Structure 1
Amino acid sequence: MLKNDIGINAGVIWQLLSNEGALSIRQIGELTGYNDKNICLALGWLSRENKIQFIYKNEILYLELNSSTSEMYY
């Protein structure tokens, strides 16, 4: 997988979180069709750029955009 592909997947997931709010990794996979590896690579990208935060609810890991993230991610 190319670095550019990871960035594209990160952008898709960013848009999804922007539209839907907090989602679990399973929900992200169901909505995007991405496998776990591609999701985790994209989440690593978004996390490194401080675009997302991780939240545990009822022992399930959810991801949501940081509240300070206001610009569009492409």
Structure 2
Amino acid sequence: MEIKSTVGETAGKIWHVLSSDGPLTVTQLKKKVNGSSDAVNLALGWLAREDKVDLTQVDKTTVRVHLKS
């Protein structure tokens, strides 16, 4: 599968998971969407650039993601 398609599908999965489950850490999201680290990180960048999600640094190693209203 082409990387652009993979990233787009992963972004859709992330949006649906956050919509139903609420804010999650990046680690939790990776498990929920069963995506590779690269695909999830690229999808999160895409969603952040499109202003669909907010990313919050919780501590040194944890980032929480939530949908923008």
* TM-score of the superposed pair, with normalisation by structure 1: 0.80
Superposed CA deviations along residues 11-37 of structure 1, whole A, max 9, x for unmatched, are: 010000011110001101111211211
Runs of 4 or more off by more than 4 Å in structure 1?
A: none
Identity %: 33
Unaligned stretches of 5+ in structure 2? Answer: none
Superposed CA deviations along residues 29-64 of structure 1, whole A, max 9, x for unmatched, are: 11121121111011011011100001233x121000
Query: 1:22 matched to which residue of 2?
Result: 23
The RMSD of aligned alpha carbons is 1.2
Unaligned stretches of 5+ in structure 1? Answer: 68-74
Q: Distance in 2 between matches of 1:48 and 1:17?
A: 17
- Tell me the number of residue pairs that the alignment of Structure 1 and Structure 2 aligns: 66
Higher helix share: 2
